[in-house]
């Protein structure tokens, strides 16, 4: 802007406010007392605008808050994170646990791994399709045994096992011993199976480590797709931020 344009804007602002904001001192201009007070108040206002914009739109930085389901984090993500930190030591990755009820928002996190794709304003990338496998502690031995179900609604208790047996042409009565063991989340089912309470249906990625370490055994039956998938979601307006770009590229490669 030219000096005359700046002078015109200052003069116009002074006229609208009815106050003299600057005065000449030597060969330059300085703020009057009123000008100083106005500048101080506007500084705070601009700081508020900047912080509000950073919360809504996101501020480019090396810190990334990644919101993720607890079961996906412990069963798939955390095992792979050392490779991410080696490759991207400049990215400060912070994990936040979320549930299905949490709405994507910059107030909560910068990126999300959930089963909900195509939120308005967000770009979603498929990472993994969910399928359930039957697992139990080696101490259980074989069928029949108590069955742990995450379908706890009175109208659909055990629906996951019923569907699993139907898909694999198995008779539920030949595998179930005692009454249902109920829990609400896959992580709980995993822990209950690990300590020998019964057999559980859990996502394959959640059972991988337990099976590899010998804490769990894979039981008969082909994996059962649930129809759910896990997606990485990031705002379109932030998808070119370097830290988020690094996370996106690494997750896509890890998922492949």
Q: Do 33 and 146 reside in the same domain of the chain?
A: no
Q: Are 250 and 87 in contact (CB under 8 A)?
A: yes
Please report the pLDDT score of residue 54 as a whole number.
57
Query: Is pLDDT of 173 > 90?
Result: no
Q: Do 82 and 136 reside in the same domain of the chain?
A: no
Pair of tokens at residue 147:
């069955």
The number of distinct structural domains making up the chain is 3
Convert the pLDDT of each residue in 72-82 to its tens digit.
999 999 999 99
- Average the pLDDT over each of 14-23, 51-60, 119-128, 148-157 and give the range with the smallest value: 51-60
Please list, residue by residue across 74-90, b when 16 or more beta carbons sit within 10 angstroms of its beta carbon and e when fewer do.
Answer: bbbbeeeeeebeeebee
Q: Do 116 and 140 reside in the same domain of the chain?
A: no
% of the chain beyond a pLDDT of 90: 62
Please report the pLDDT score of residue 84 as a whole number.
96
Burial class (CB in 10 A: 0-12, 13-18, 19+), 157: middle
Instruction: Report the DSSP pairing between strands 147-149 and 111-114.
Output: unpaired
CATH number of the domain where residue 212 is located: 3.40.190.10
Q: Do 136 and 207 reside in the same domain of the chain?
A: yes
Q: Do 162 and 90 reside in the same domain of the chain?
A: no
Burial class (CB in 10 A: 0-12, 13-18, 19+), 23: exposed
What does pTM read for this prediction? 0.71
Q: Do 120 and 89 reside in the same domain of the chain?
A: yes
Q: Which of 39, 56, 73 is the last residue of a domain?
A: 56
Query: Is pLDDT of 211 > 70?
Result: yes
Point out which residues pair with 111 in neighbouring strands.
Answer: 66
Q: Do 222 and 238 reside in the same domain of the chain?
A: no
Please report the pLDDT score of residue 53 as a whole number.
64
The whole-angstrom separation of Cα 1 and Cα 9 is 11
Q: Do 219 and 104 reside in the same domain of the chain?
A: no
Distant-in-sequence, close-in-space partners of 26: CB < 8 Å, separation ≥ 6? none
Domain around 29: 3-56
Q: Do 51 and 123 reside in the same domain of the chain?
A: no
Q: Do 84 and 102 reside in the same domain of the chain?
A: yes
Query: Is pLDDT of 58 > 80?
Result: no
């Amino acid at each position: 802007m030219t000096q005359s344009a700046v002078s015109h804007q200052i003069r116009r602002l002074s006229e609208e406010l009815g106050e003299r904001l600057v005065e000449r001192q030597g060969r330059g201009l300085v703020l009057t007392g009123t000008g100083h007070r106005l500048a101080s108040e506007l500084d705070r206002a601009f700081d508020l605008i900047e912080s509000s914009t950073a919360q809504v739109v996101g501020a480019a930085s090396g810190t990334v808050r990644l919101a993720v389901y607890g079961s996906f984090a412990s069963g798939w993500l955390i095992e792979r994170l050392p490779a991410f930190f080696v490759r991207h030591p400049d990215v400060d990755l912070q994990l936040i646990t979320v549930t299905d009820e949490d709405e994507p928002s910059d107030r909560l996190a910068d990126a999300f791994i959930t089963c909900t794709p195509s939120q308005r304003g967000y770009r979603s990338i498929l990472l993994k399709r969910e399928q359930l496998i039957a697992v139990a502690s080696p101490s259980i031995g074989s069928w029949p045994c108590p069955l742990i179900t995450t379908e706890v609604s009175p109208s659909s208790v055990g629906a996951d096992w019923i569907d699993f047996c139907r898909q694999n042409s198995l008779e539920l009565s030949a595998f179930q011993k005692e009454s249902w063991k109920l829990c609400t989340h896959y992580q709980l089912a995993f822990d209950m199976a690990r300590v020998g309470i019964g057999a559980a249906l859990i996502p394959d990625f959640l059972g991988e480590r337990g099976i590899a370490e010998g804490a769990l055994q894979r039981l008969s039956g082909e994996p059962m797709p649930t129809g759910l998938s896990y997606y990485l979601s990031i705002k379109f307006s932030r998808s070119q931020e370097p830290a988020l770009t690094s996370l996106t590229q690494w997750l896509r490669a890890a998922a492949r």
